[in-house]
Amino acid sequence: MPSPSFTPPGVVYLVGAGPGAPDLITVRGRDLLRCAGAVIYDALLDPALLNEAPTHAERIFAGKRAGCHAMPQEEINELLRRKAHEHAVVVRLKGGDPFVFGRGGEEMAYLLAAGVPVEVVPGVSSAIASASAANVPVTQRRVSNNFAVVSGSSSPDAVDEPPWHALAQIDTLVILMGLKKIGQVRQKLTAAGRAPQTPAMIVCAARLPDQQIVAGTLETLEQLATNLTGDGPATIVVGEVVSLASTPLHTNREAS
């Protein structure tokens, strides 16, 4: 509860909310929510999670979606520092895992430099959980011995393009936040040597009630995307493991 007499600083907990469904958060993350004085939360999570926080807790939206940021990252950093001087427990609630394309490292560095204690509570990354929503393992003996995760949406200050020639050689490639650039992703991978007939799928709004899964090949990725409705977060999976998908009621398999 906010208190003018609180002796600063409190602890900021960078909590991974998991891939979507509210019951996929860790027990540690849920317990911290239940004693939080303030929750600063992202867009890519189920709002039902906020019900775990005490009724008196501050709830502050700081979400980011492609082309739409509730507040700049610098403002979020300073907000976290400020709230740590108002509450003993501050939860920064992030979709997936805080350290997988979640800018958790930046927030941690800022807070530590300001003398604010930080604890990271890992979450289930959508990089793995989205594929498993279709019963697709990212590794499988004799099928996939390795996997890589890359962002399909480069930050404005990114220096280099992802190493597509190296990524094209990875058994299973998971691409987060790549739906708006799906044509470029397909083009770069095939130009780097990935076979157009490689199985591929898109999982949209993984583990949420409006989850959608479409599967086909790398060559048909753009066509697959046209079958999706809504604007939920999407994960692209490219690799032979996609042929193991076993959710026929939720999967639209395109002819290769």
Distance CA 8, CA 199 (A): 53
pLDDT in tens, 4-45: 667 789 999 999 999 888 999 999 999 999 999 999 999 878
**What pLDDT score was predicted for residue 1?**
57
**Residues tagged active-site:** 42, 64, 177
DSSP letter (8 states) at residue 144? B
Provide the 3-class DSSP secondary structure of residue 39: strand
Q: At what angle do helices 73-84 and 104-113 cross, to 10 degrees?
A: 50
Straight-line distance from the first to the last Cα atom of the chain, in angstroms, rounded to the nearest whole number: 57
Quick count: other Cβ atoms within 10 Å of Cβ 94?
29
Rounded to 5°, angle at Cα 136 from 214 and 163: 80
The closest alpha carbon to 55, from 34, 41, 28, 30, belongs to: 34
pLDDT in tens, 131-169: 999 999 999 999 999 999 998 876 545 556 789 999 999
pLDDT bucket at 2, cuts 50 / 70 / 90: low
